[in-house]
Structure 1
Amino acid sequence: MNEKSFKVIIVGDLEVGKTSFIIKYTQNKFSQKYKATLGMDCVTSEVRKTPTDVIRVALWDICGQESSRVALMPQFCRGAHACIVMVDITRQSTLDGAIQWKKTVDKQALLPNGSSIPCLLLANKCDLPVGNVAKEDIVKVSEEHNFLKSVEISVKENQNVAESIEYLVDVMLAQEANSTKLSRDEVDSAIRDLEFPPQKQRNVCCN
């Protein structure tokens, strides 16, 4: 049995759905009434790539308050291999907040080669018929701030939840396999060539 372990940190403003995302992925449950995370929390799940290859993914959650970035982020980011930054498509402020979270992660979560860990931008609540954040703005933030890509998800409807983790696992495996053989730019290029599983789109586009 071949086993690997990866740490994925999940950040974003209050009530964007970080805890709900983790519980949906690990337990296939959803509730509107989760309590806000206090401090940090971690849940580990297994991803089987083949019958003999097991990937253990530790999903780390952090409270969304501004003060967390100063008090908890150094410990939270230590040893991380990848990051999810989450926004709520009904609140423009969470997209603005995602930019600040990304800048913080870029400074504090570094790979052994000195580069920032790969980050995926997830836009939650795409099951809602109307949102306040345009898809074009999400894509623009993703491109301008060097995210791997942006993906629309619905934790409630289980849209692109498992697919997001599976994609990040592929990214982390490619990163690990190529880090000693290729230059940093070549590793980045190989990662960006990875395909995200076919996405389920919003029922109604938000503009």
Structure 2
Amino acid sequence: MSTKDFKVVLGGDFGSGRTSFATRFLDAKKNKKTLKAIKTDSYPLILQTSAGAATFTFFDTLVHAKGGLPDNSFFRTSDAAILFFDTTNETSYENLVKWYDAVDVANGRKGSEPLPVIIVGTKVDDIKARDVKVKDIEFPRKKGLTYVEISAKANYNVKELLLEVVKALLGFGTILTDEVALEKASLEVDADALEKLKKEYEEAGQ
């Protein structure tokens, strides 16, 4: 029985945590392929879900380390997008709009449903260095997008973010029915402090 295949593009400024997220998943890292034609690394991850087996391939661009965004060939024919910013770097948050617009332009088709987009704040393990305050994170709220904060190196909310992608593409009630293997965590987080920040974000939107 064939699996469903989904292309999930990873966007965000250089150093925003895109690659760190993709490489947390052991199987995705092991099966990494480089697509030279569009200067992209792809990370396929086969998941067992309550809606059946599905392959989620994360597309991570290689071209914008020198600045700028990849062209439409990177974003085109996406099924979903995850846009990252570094919570310790305000400029990366400000640049989200450019990444969002690039996804929208490449995939916007007359009469088509909006592409699922998830906004992600990274490196939340470093609370003292945080440059983007929760009260200032308005972009996902204005666009009506899901917002998740993660620390890839601590494996904090990594699986939760993955599940958000799964639900966006397979249905809200979908769950993972098998364990997803992650790299061993190399950092710890202050879970209580991060839970307070999450509540602040939710309350700001009420």
The TM tier, using the shorter chain, reads 0.7 to 0.9
Paired with 2:170 and 2:109, the residues of 1 have a C-alpha distance of 13
Amino acid at match of 1:149: T
Q: Which has the larger displacement, 38-47 or 95-104?
A: 38-47
Equivalent of 1:202 in 189, 194, 198? 194
**TM-score relative to the length of structure 1:** 0.72
CA deviations 1:94-133 (Å, max 9, x no partner) are 0001111111111112368424311100000111122010
Tell me the equivalent position of 2:152: 155
TM-score between the two structures when normalised by the length of structure 2 = 0.73
How do 1:22-171 and structure 2 match up within 5 A?
Answer: 22-26=22-26, 39-50=39-50, 53-63=52-62, 64-65=64-65, 68-69=68-69, 72-110=70-108, 113-130=111-128, 131-138=130-137, 140-144=138-142, 146-171=143-168
Q: 1:158 to 1:103 in 2, by over 3 A?
A: same
Structure-2 separation of matches of 1:47 and 1:17: 22
What displacement does 1:68 show? 4.9
In the alignment, residue 47 of structure 2 is paired with which amino acid? Answer: V
Once residues 10 and 125 of structure 2 are traced to their aligned partners in structure 1, the CA distance between those partners, rounded to angstroms, is: 21
Shift of 1:202: 2.1
Say what the alpha-carbon RMSD is for the aligned residues. Answer: 3.1
Name the SS of the counterpart of 2:152 in structure 1.
coil
Equivalents in 2 of 1:61, 1:109: separation in Å?
17
Measure, in 2, the Cα distance between the counterparts of 1:84 and 1:22.
11
Q: Give the structure 2 partner of residue 184 of structure 1.
A: none
Matched positions, count = 174
Query: Is residue 21–residue 158 contact of structure 2 (8 Å, CA) maintained in 1?
Result: yes
Unaligned runs of 5+ in 2: 30-37, 176-190, 201-206
